[in-house]
Copies of this chain bind each other. A is one copy, B any other.
Amino acid sequence: MSVPNTDVRSLVAAALPTPVPADEYDGCPVTGLLRLLSDKWSMLVLVLLGRQPYRFNELHRAIGGISQRMLTRTLRGLESAGLVLREVHPTVPPSVEYRLTPLGRSLLGPLSGLADWAVRHEPELAAARRPVTAATSSGPR
């Protein structure tokens, strides 16, 4: 991401009633987490795997509209972050199971905090949704 001058971690620490220690940090972990989750499928996969383990094609079917390539990439990303465990059973045909690691499961809580907020504030969000006036060149987000 080429971390910006301003560090998210020190910011949230200062912005909150119960600031975090923040004694030492090199690459802001908050930024890292956001980078990891800020794609089209990661959070969806996490939540699905939070319900039960899945095999590759099960997951592929459960999520409608994802390509094999993106599912693989997403799983690899989550795996390399230590949130998802990939278990290969050397049978024929091969069978691969994906499940959350304990670390991954522990993320479900905070994730749901955000989700809850979105659901609770849906009316206000819907009410606020006006075009504002004009966008800054190139189409809407």
Interface residues in chain A, defined as those with a beta carbon under 8 Å from any beta carbon in chain B? 1-2, 4-6, 8-9, 11-12, 14-16, 20, 22, 25, 29-30, 32-40, 43-44, 47-48, 50-51, 62-66, 69, 72-73, 76-77, 79-83, 101, 103, 106-122, 124-125, 127-132, 135-137, 141
**In the complex, A93→B23 CA distance in Å?**
41
Assess whether B116 is in contact with A20, with CB atoms less than 8 Å apart. yes
Q: Least Cβ distance of A17 to chain B in Å?
A: 9
**In the complex, A136→B129 CA distance in Å?**
38
Which partner residue on chain B sits nearest A103 by CB separation?
B124
Cross-chain contact of A122 among B29, B127, B135 (Cβ < 8 A): B29
What is the oligomeric copy number? Answer: 2
Assess whether B114 is in contact with A11, with CB atoms less than 8 Å apart. no
Q: Least Cβ distance of A90 to chain B in Å?
A: 16
Assess whether B82 is in contact with A115, with CB atoms less than 8 Å apart. no
Residues of chain B with a CB closer than 8 A to A135's CB: 73, 76
Cross-chain contact of A132 among B80, B103, B124 (Cβ < 8 A): B80
Q: Which 10 A-B pairs have the closest CB atoms?
A: A82-B128, A5-B64, A33-B118, A38-B38, A113-B113, A80-B132, A110-B113, A12-B115, A29-B122, A110-B117
